[in-house]
Amino acid sequence: MYNGYSNYETWVVNLWIDNTEHVYNYWKDSAKEAYRKAKNTNLENKKDEAVYSLAEEMKNYYHETMPQISGVFGDLMNSALQEVNWHEIAKIHVENFIEVEA
């Protein structure tokens, strides 16, 4: 555990998301879109579907936009990104959207 998150890597990614306005707004809108696209009519299952979808989108985005670095530093960055709990971050953003909408 690190500052209430499953690990440091998850905490630091979410910290940067929350503290960078345009990035925060992007993921806030993505959470809203994921929730609206979720097909399940049961509220809890709809939330789970939205979280899964957003987590996959986040993971793909950060892996695809990571700078191409070779050597030890590239290996360390890849390792750190593998440790991020994308589901945990996505759940926070989807739940924030649901709270605002309720």
Average pLDDT across the chain, whole number: 94
Q: What pLDDT does 42 receive? A: 73
Q: What is the DSSP letter of 86?
A: H
Query: What is the model's pLDDT at position 78?
Result: 93
Phi/psi of residue 2, each to 5°?
Answer: -145, 115
- Contact 68/40 with Cβ under 8 angstroms? no
Helix axes 86-101 and 8-19, enclosed angle (nearest 10): 40
For residue 57, the model assigns a pLDDT of 98
Residues of the chain predicted below pLDDT 50 = none
In DSSP notation, 4-48 reads TBSSHHHHHHHHHHHHSHHHHHHHHHHHHHHHHH----SHHHHHH
Q: What is the pLDDT of residue 102?
A: 56
Which residue in this structure is represented by tokens 């998150």? 5
